[in-house]
Amino acid sequence: MKLWGQILWTLLSVPRGRRGVLQGWAFNSWKTYSSLTGPLSATGMVNHWTRVFEERGIPEARESSEYIVAHVLGAKTFQSLKPALWTKPLTPQQLECIQELCGRRLQRLQLQDRIRIIHLDITSEGCCTHLLPWSPLDLVVSNPPYIFRKDMEQLAPEICSYEDLVALDGGDEGMDIITHILTLAPQLLNASGSIFLEVDPRHPELVSSWLQSHPDLHLSLVGVREDFCGRPRFLHVQKSAP
């Protein structure tokens, strides 16, 4: 789910200069809707784009179209939309927005040939050995499990039922995986490399004091960014020369 938040953000953040191209694409494919019968509803659009994505080999075809349609209708997930909205005819503006975002999803962010996936448990012994051949790295970016164990019970039902809880539970103070990353990263980063982490609002202070008690890592918290609700949730940690 978070991944989709990131993808949507990326989609929505594409520089204006590229919009002309995409709008051109949207205009051409507008005809695809004319083959659909009846009013164009949210459910109809999800089904339509699921089919298109499947035909074009886009992963998570249904999830992709559901997130896009829900986003355009102002919701986080399709399932959290009021059922009346599933069948209500969409406005031309909503259709255009869905079209544009789905068009960008079709482009698959052009990352598929530029990513190498290494399956690795970063808490396992010797995991650094598998990563060292890729060093020195400029950046480590992570959305680790960071939920405080005591908060796990209060998670929204759609999160609990969708995500593997191991992907969320960060231990007593949400720091278990974060500290592993901070311990491992200096060995992989270049002399002034950076770590970017998505965390809980309590973590800026916790991470800062943890780093101060581990001066041997030569890492400092140099920046904290807020999320769209104004909560401090993104950390920039930087390595400095010993």
Ligand X SMILES: C[S@@+](CC[C@H](N)C(=O)[O-])C[C@H]1O[C@@H](n2cnc3c(N)ncnc32)[C@H](O)[C@@H]1O
Residues that bind ligand X (CB under 6 A): 2-3, 120-123, 143-145, 167-168, 177
Minimum distance of ligand X from residue 65's CB (angstroms): 18
Minimum distance of ligand X from residue 133's CB (angstroms): 18
- Residue 15 DSSP one-character state: -
- Residue 60 DSSP one-character state: S
Please report the beta strands in 85-204, taking only residues with DSSP state E, as ranges in sequence order. Answer: 137-142, 189-198
- Which of 40/184 has CB closer to ligand X? 184
- Which of 103/145 has CB closer to ligand X? 145
- Which of 27/162 has CB closer to ligand X? 162
- Which of 5/232 has CB closer to ligand X? 5
Nearest to 156 by CA among 219, 47, 75: 75
Minimum distance of ligand X from residue 155's CB (angstroms): 11
- Which of 168/237 has CB closer to ligand X? 168
Minimum distance of ligand X from residue 234's CB (angstroms): 13
How far apart are the C-alpha atoms of 195 and 221, rounded to whole Å? 9
The total number of residues written for the chain in this structure:
242
Minimum distance of ligand X from residue 127's CB (angstroms): 8
Interhelix angle 42-55/92-106, rounded to 10 degrees, is 20
Q: Answer whether 137's CB lies under 8 Å from 189's CB.
A: yes
